[in-house]
């Protein structure tokens, strides 16, 4: 059953991004409820930005756009494979032609869960994971830079995972390495493009409660009461035990990092994880 999140009605009501254009890559959800990308796209729109909702599955992007439009805000859907340079370039060009430019790029694509420890991970799985979880962010940055420069600056928000810095009991070497790469990409690009007034930051996410995670557990036979028990148990590992990390908490952080309130913040890896990074697992 979809969960109604605490921040859902409150997120991004300040219109801090009025007049901006945001491209959200990975803006859909793979099932009922809110994914991180879907929540961030809606939050950017609530903060006043016009949004290009990009997803590999067009119907998912269209669902996000329907929500944004129903609230009286502006959005367009776009289908793209985030691992293909031509697709990402086309998305950026479409944002410019239909929405007037680009001020914010949010790289949200990631996979996770494939393979295992190094000796268990086939090369094809390794390559696919790095393509989806790291190359997608690189292409989002690479193709955005000319457009952000044309606007006199802007903000890029990448997304990472606690797996980049903590071993989570089950080896996911490809995903962990890919997300560590996203964090390094963030820091390098922050230094490179700071003189262009382009800020690059990253949100490091902990145990996030979203459809993709639920489907991953169900795929290995954990569902219904067993899934609920597992989610409750993992939530108890988080110091802020009122909840697992929710998409709306991540969306609030994304809006802040994209706004003028964060004008002096770049190269930062912001953990939005309820304190999981500092917890004993």
SS3 255: helix
pTM (2 decimals)? 0.88
Place of tokens 């990975």: 26
pLDDT score of 116: 81
Alpha helix segments (H runs only) across 54-172 = 58-70, 85-99, 123-130, 136-150
Side-chain half-sphere exposure of 122, counting CA atoms within 13 A:
4
What is the DSSP-derived secondary structure letter of residue 194? G
What is the DSSP-derived secondary structure letter of residue 106? E
Structural domains in the chain plus CATH codes: 21-210+245-270 (3.40.50.720)
Q: What is the per-residue DSSP string for 207-232?
A: SB-SHHHHHHHHHTT--HHHHHHHHH
- Taking the C-alpha atoms of residue 165 and residue 179, their distance in angstroms, rounded to an integer, is 9
Decide: 253 and 265 in contact? Cβ < 8 Å: no
pLDDT score of 207: 74
Q: Of 257, 252, 256, 149, whose CA–CA distance to 202 is shortest?
A: 257
Place of tokens 């009922």: 32
Main-chain phi, psi angles of 270, to 5 degrees: -95, 115
SS3 78: strand
pLDDT along the chain (281 residues), means of 10: 45 82 95 89 97 97 98 98 98 98 96 79 94 97 98 98 78 89 98 98 83 54 64 69 72 96 98 79 58
Q: End-to-end distance of the chain based on CA atoms, in angstroms? A: 28
pLDDT score of 278: 77
What are the start-end ranges of the E strands in the chain?
21-25, 50-55, 75-79, 104-107, 154-161, 198-205, 269-272
Q: Of 26, 15, 7, whose CA–CA distance to 246 is shortest?
A: 7
């Amino acid at each position: 059953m979809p969960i109604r999140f605490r921040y859902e009605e409150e997120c991004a009501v300040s219109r801090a991004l009025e007049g901006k254009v945001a491209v959200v890559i990975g803006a859909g959800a793979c099932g009922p409820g809110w994914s991180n990308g879907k929540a961030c796209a809606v939050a950017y729109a609530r903060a006043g930005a016009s949004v290009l909702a990009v997803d590999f599955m067009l119907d998912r992007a269209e669902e996000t756009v329907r929500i944004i439009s129903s609230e009286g805000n502006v959005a367009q859907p776009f289908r793209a494979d985030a691992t293909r340079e031509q697709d990402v370039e086309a998305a950026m060009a479409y944002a410019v032609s239909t929405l007037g430019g680009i001020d914010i790029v949010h790289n949200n694509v990631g996979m996770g869960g494939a393979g295992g420890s190094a000796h268990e991970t086939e090369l094809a799985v390794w390559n696919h994971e790095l393509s989806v979880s790291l190359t997608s962010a690189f292409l989002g940055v690479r193709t955005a830079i000319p457009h952000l420069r044309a606007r006199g600056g802007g903000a890029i928000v990448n997304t990472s995972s606690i797996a980049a810095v903590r071993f989570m009991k089950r080896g996911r070497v490809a995903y962990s390495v890919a997300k560590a790469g996203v964090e390094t990409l963030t820091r390098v690009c922050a230094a490179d493009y700071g003189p262009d007034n382009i800020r690059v930051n990253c949100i490091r996410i902990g145990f996030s409660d979203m459809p993709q995670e639920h489907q991953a557990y169900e795929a290995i036979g954990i569902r219904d009461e067993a899934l609920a028990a597992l989610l409750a148990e993992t939530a108890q590992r988080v110091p802020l035990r009122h909840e697992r990390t929710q998409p709306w908490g991540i969306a609030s952080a994304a809006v802040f990092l994209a706004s003028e309130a964060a004008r002096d913040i770049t190269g930062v890896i912001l953990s939005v994880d309820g304190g999981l990074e500092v917890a004993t697992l």
